[in-house]
Amino acid sequence: QVQLVESGGGLVQAGGSLRLSCAASGRTFSNYAMGWFRQAPGKEREFVAAFTWSGGTTYYSDSVKGRFTISRDNAKNMLYLQMNSLKPEETAVYYCEARLFIASRNRADYDYWGQGTQVTVSS
């Protein structure tokens, strides 16, 4: 089992920045690919960014590329998402998710996820 706890969400004005954190515990963190997904009210959960288990490759959705940065610290069992130039339409609950080794853009491929952290971007 892998336990994931997100934090860092909040209220920010459009154009502002937030840094989300995800604390992982339970298994060897470095063996897991990690991803960030988000879910707005009434919408499907969508892929935001992901990191392979080795930390060598990152993936981003086209909508956040150039504005968001995913990073991980295997020594601290932490995953981060730096979000810049936020837009009101990015208001959502952001989830940290994990699966063994290979990153995926597909939500169904992930085995573990946290409770989410709310990000609200005001216009």
The answer on pLDDT for 36 being more than 70 is yes
Phi and psi at residue 115, to the nearest 5°: -85, -10
Distance, CA of 39 to CA of 123 (rounded, Å) = 19
In this prediction, residue 44 carries a pLDDT of 96
Name residue 84's amino acid: N
SS3 of residue 113 by DSSP: strand
Taking only the tens place, the pLDDT of each residue in 40-84 is: 999 999 999 998 877 678 999 999 999 999 998 888 999 999 999
